[in-house]
Structure 1
Amino acid sequence: MPDPESTRGGPRPQRERVVLSHRAGARPVRTRIELEEQTRVGEVLVAGLMRTQLGLALRLALLVIISVGVLPLAFWLVPGLAAATVGGVQLAWLLLGAAIYPLLAGVGWVYVRQAERNEQQFSELVED
């Protein structure tokens, strides 16, 4: 039976572990210092956090605009819906005058939770 090394074209080369810091000319990223000294890397990190927070705010604002904007459209398209009453109060007034506030409070709560999560992830990235 032939030698396994001879059938593969000779002995295998020694494996080498490649580490990013061993690259020629590479400089280590010190994220906390990069932020404090306001270097280009720090600016990119902060811009990424700001982009994430802006995206979250825009998505939730769009949710509120759509959910609140659909109500007048529904009342216009279905006139009987606007004339309906609940407990002697028109449904339109109940939805637009009272039901909006729990929706806004819920969206605000979700925003705060998600924004804090984004900031926590950013802090963990900086600390690593």
Structure 2
Amino acid sequence: MTNPVDPQPAPVPRRPQPRVRVVLAEAARGGTGAERTRAELTQQTQVGEALVRGLVRAQLALALRLSLVVAIGLGGLPLLFAIAPEVGTAKLFGINLPWLLLGVAAFPFLVAVGWAYVRLAERNEQDFTDVVQRPER
């Protein structure tokens, strides 16, 4: 006994879909303002470069301001001791005041300035992130 062969219909040739070229900038155009800004950053366009330059400029300004605070705070002490010799010869707890200020008090001062720098730098970065993620109005 032979099995009858079921004729199967011939496959219908499918017409290939036309190719669509997707470019990141075109995809971002259809999105929200935040998506467009992120696309500007990733593509390093003029707008993205301006945003990054603004962040770098803000971080540099912060670093220079706090460097000035350290320079005045620690650099001004020897100047004070030279101008006012009686302060330079003063003793506190039996130790010369210049030794206490420059040898002991300088470290907590530097730690405080470092803490302030980290806190303010993170605030700058958060402001940058808020600008990048802000939806367009």
TM-score in same-fold range (> 0.5): yes
Q: After the TM superposition, which segments of 4 or more aligned residues of structure 1 sit over 2 Å from their partners?
A: none
The corresponding residue for 2:113 is: 107
Name which of 42, 49, 54 aligns with 1:48: 54
**Aligned with residue 117 of structure 1, among 119, 123, 126:** 123
Q: Equivalent of 1:92, from 98, 107, 126?
A: 98
Give per-residue Cα distances to partners, 1:63-105, cap 9 Å, x unaligned: 1101111110110111111111112211000000111111111
Equivalence for 1:62 = 68
Structure 1 runs not aligned, ≥5 long: 1-27
Offset at residue 37 of structure 1 (A): 1.0
- Give the aligned partner of residue 74 of structure 1: 80
State the secondary structure of the residue aligned to 2:72: helix
Q: Which ranges of structure 2 fall in alignment gaps of 5 or more residues?
A: 1-31
Name the aligned partner's letter for residue 92 of structure 2. V
Q: TM-score, normalised by structure 2?
A: 0.70
Identity, % of aligned pairs?
Answer: 55
Letter in 2 for 1:113: R
- Quote the offset at 1:40 in angstroms: 1.2
Instruction: Point out the structure with max Rg over C-alpha.
Output: 2
**Aligned residue-pair number:** 101
* Larger RCO (CA within 8 A; separation ≥ 6): 2
Query: Equivalents in 1 of 2:41, 2:92: separation in Å?
Result: 56
